Amino acid sequence: MKLPASEYRDTVLWSAVQAILAELTTTGEVAIHTAPDYAIAYICHELVARKAIAEAALAPRRPAKDS
């Protein structure tokens, strides 16, 4: 399946939403019945459209440091 295009994919916002949804699905508090990337892209889009996030959340995420 082709992943949805999203201008938010490599942002801090995407990483945060992805982590939150992963935690909620792991604990069984929510169920996502579509590709998680679709849900993440939609939530990111809606948060930006509603001006509910700080500008810093749209910054590119930093690559993980090697330990």
Cα first-last separation, the chain: 33
Say yes or no to pLDDT of 7 above 80. yes
Q: Please report the pLDDT score of residue 27 as a whole number.
A: 97
Taking only the tens place, the pLDDT of each residue in 12-53 is: 999 999 999 999 999 999 999 999 999 999 999 999 999 999
Q: Please report the pLDDT score of residue 64 as a whole number.
A: 67
Helix/strand number for the chain, H first, E second: 2, 0
Task: State the pLDDT confidence band at 65, using cuts at 50, 70 and 90.
Answer: low
Say yes or no to pLDDT of 56 above 80. yes
